[in-house]
């Protein structure tokens, strides 16, 4: 699996992203990190902008809503075989992690580690790749439970990268002030991490 990890949007390495695109341009756009929001119009507008951005670099995005696959891991595994790219948007990393657990996406994506799949995304969509998402409650509201209060907080990340990510660091972003306390938390606890200013991209091939 290859990774194109942005702090926000497509980031500044668009030419490199175009070079990384597989022959199968069909892209699973996963919007679940904003499932906590009740503003449907705003959600649809934001998702639409993201998908327009993906089309602008030659991708063919289709919404893959993990809520449609809660308790249907086999169906999700079958659906994901159609895509050459997975793009996971930002929002609340804890909400996203819940959706990944309930749908079985977390185990499926690990099984695809040795494939040529391109995983891209931004903010929460890349933070979730780390071994753990502890510390990110300093930026995202861990109490958000849009799928039901009986679900326990999932603190484990997907473990597909070996470091934690702090997005929006030193950036003009509403969550930028939360980044420095996370730096201090990670340093205190000996957690390997990378900060990302908005526009920064991490590429792993």
pLDDT-based confidence at 129, cuts 50/70/90?
Answer: very high
Please state, rounded to an integer, the average pLDDT across all residues of the chain. 95
Contact yes or no for 62/26 (Cβ under 8 A): yes
pLDDT-based confidence at 196, cuts 50/70/90?
Answer: very high
pLDDT-based confidence at 151, cuts 50/70/90?
Answer: confident
- Residues 31-63: pLDDT tens digits? 999 999 989 999 999 999 999 999 999 999 999
Q: Which residues contact 11 (CB under 8 A, 6 or more apart)?
A: 4, 17, 122, 199, 200, 201
Higher-scoring residue by pLDDT: 135, 174: 135
Predicted pLDDT at 148: 87
Predicted pLDDT at 73: 97
Report the pLDDT averaged over residues 139-160: 92
Q: pTM for the whole thing?
A: 0.95
Q: Of the candidates 152, 161, 146, 144, which has an alpha carbon nearest to the alpha carbon of residue 203?
A: 161
CA 14 to the chain's CA centroid: 18
Task: Tell me the two tokens of residue 192.
Answer: 């390997």
Give CA angle at 104 (129, 204), nearest 5°: 25
Query: Residue 192 maps to which CATH number?
Result: 3.40.50.880
Report the pLDDT averaged over residues 135-150: 92
pLDDT-based confidence at 2, cuts 50/70/90?
Answer: very high
| Full residue range of the structural domain in which residue 15 is found | 2-204
pLDDT-based confidence at 87, cuts 50/70/90?
Answer: very high
Q: Of the candidates 16, 122, 23, 107, which has an alpha carbon nearest to the alpha carbon of residue 69?
A: 107
Helix (H, G, I), strand (E, B) or coil at 99: helix
pLDDT tops 80 at residue 149: no
Helix (H, G, I), strand (E, B) or coil at 85: strand
The tally of domains found in the chain comes to: 1
């Amino acid at each position: 699996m290859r990774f194109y990890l942005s702090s926000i949007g497509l980031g500044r390495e668009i030419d490199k992203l175009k070079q990384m695109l597989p022959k199968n341009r069909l892209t699973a756009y996963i919007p679940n990190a904003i499932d906590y929001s009740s503003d449907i119009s705003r959600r649809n507008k934001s998702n639409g902008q993201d998908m327009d951005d993906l089309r602008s670099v030659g991708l063919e995005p289709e919404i893959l809503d993990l809520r449609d696959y809660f308790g249907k891991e086999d169906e999700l595994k079958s659906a994901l075989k159609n895509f050459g790219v997975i793009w996971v948007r930002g929002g609340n990393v804890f909400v996203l992690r819940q959706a990944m657990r309930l749908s079985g996406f977390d185990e499926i994506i690990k099984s695809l580690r040795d494939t040529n799949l391109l995983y891209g995304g931004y903010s929460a969509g890349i933070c979730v790749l780390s071994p753990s998402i502890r510390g990110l409650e300093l930026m995202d509201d861990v109490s958000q439970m849009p799928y039901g209060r009986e679900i326990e907080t999932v603190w484990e990340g997907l473990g597909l990268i070996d470091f934690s990510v702090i997005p929006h660091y030193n950036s003009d972003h509403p969550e930028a002030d939360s980044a420095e306390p996370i730096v201090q938390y990670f340093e205190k606890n000996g957690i390997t991490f990378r900060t990302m200013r908005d526009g920064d991209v991490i590429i792993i091939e």
